[in-house]
Structure 1
Amino acid sequence: MDRIRSLHVEAIRERGPNGYTDRQVEAWATKDDGTDAYPVTESSHHLVIAERDGEVVGYGHVIPEGEEIRAVYVDPDHARRGVGSTILAHLEGYALGQGVDRLELWSSLNAVAFYERQGYRTTRDETIQKEYEGESVPLPVRVMEKSFGPWR
């Protein structure tokens, strides 16, 4: 789990400036509780880790019961090489196997184009508040969804 945390922070710091201010990036990247807030060991959660040559290069997390993709993060040194789309395809396949016919996610602004290329569409905008240095820092996000099956 330590590598997931460090990969998460590295990806935020590398790609976050493409959608957020420096202060917003730092608020997002600050993980006081590490990965403790990720309940990925619960049976209703599914975590996938991508490796190359024995090195963790990405991870993703889906909650089929909630029809929610919770995370897709890629090590910046391995970005734009198909890792993220492979992780997302795995999460979608797993969710489909659990009977899910649609998935929702909350995308950071810097990742919207990635999810659009994967077939997701924006349904609304939201703002997450992150505490940073004693102040509430707003992080705008896009709520996106994708439906599966010929009936859609």
Structure 2
Amino acid sequence: MQTQIQIEPAQPDDAAAVLEVHCAAVHQTAAPFYSAEVINSWARLPIERDRIDRVRQRWIENGDRQMIVARQGDRLVGFGFVDKTAELQGLYVHPDYGRQGIGARILAALEQAAFAFGVSVLQVDASINAEAFYSKQGFQVTEHSTHRLASGQEIACIKMRKVLRSN
């Protein structure tokens, strides 16, 4: 019997698992759409302790952002985060759990968090491989552009937006 997926706010101890999901998703899901150089810059392996600490401080403990995680039992299988400036900054599901509606559930929780921040229009710089997902969730393409990764590398992206409604 499959364990239910729980959607909940991230905890500081989730930082390492968040990076593991991020790296697995980028290396497996985005690899057909981007060069190896981009993939390695976007999700560098191995995962060092200082990166785990930065994720904990900047993504999870930062009061200007809300990170939501998906768990199956004790395993973190997906995450996403949104900030108070109306930007969806990331949404990743481990490839072993893809196409099960987990990303849509994380996104719904992030939309509620953004709405609670007072955001009425949510924006995302979607990776090429994620455009279809966001379109299915009601996002509209505004332009094809580039996004600067934390490493400084620029990657192709699709800027998208969605008008939020209260639930």
Under a length normalisation based on structure 1, what TM-score does the superposition of the two structures give?
0.85
RMSD, aligned CA: 2.2
Please state whether the residue corresponding to 1:18 is helix, strand or coil.
coil
88-97 or 19-28, which moves further after superposition?
19-28
Any conservation in 1 of the 2:81–2:110 contact (CA below 8 Å)? Answer: yes
How far does residue 6 in structure 1 lie from its aligned partner after superposition? 1.1
Aligned residue in 2 for 1:103 = 122
CA distance in 1, matches of 2:65, 2:153: 28
Please state whether the residue corresponding to 2:51 is helix, strand or coil.
coil
How far does residue 34 in structure 1 lie from its aligned partner after superposition? 2.1
CA distance in 1, matches of 2:148, 2:165: 35
1:87 correspondence with 2:106: yes
1:34 correspondence with 2:34: no
CA distance in 1, matches of 2:21, 2:90: 12
Please state whether the residue corresponding to 1:66 is helix, strand or coil.
coil
Structure 2 unpaired stretches of 5+ = 1-14
1:16 correspondence with 2:30: yes
Please state whether the residue corresponding to 2:138 is helix, strand or coil.
coil
Please state whether the residue corresponding to 1:80 is helix, strand or coil.
coil
Any conservation in 1 of the 2:78–2:94 contact (CA below 8 Å)? Answer: yes
Structure 1 unpaired stretches of 5+ = none
Aligned pairs, how many?
146
CA distance in 2, matches of 1:39, 1:47: 7
Aligned residue in 2 for 1:142 = 158
Under a length normalisation based on structure 2, what TM-score does the superposition of the two structures give?
0.78
Aligned residue in 2 for 1:120 = 139
CA distance in 2, matches of 1:130, 1:110: 16
Of all paired residues, the percent bearing the same amino acid is 27
CA distance in 2, matches of 1:71, 1:149: 20
How far does residue 125 in structure 1 lie from its aligned partner after superposition? 2.2
Please state whether the residue corresponding to 2:147 is helix, strand or coil.
strand
How far does residue 123 in structure 1 lie from its aligned partner after superposition? 1.0
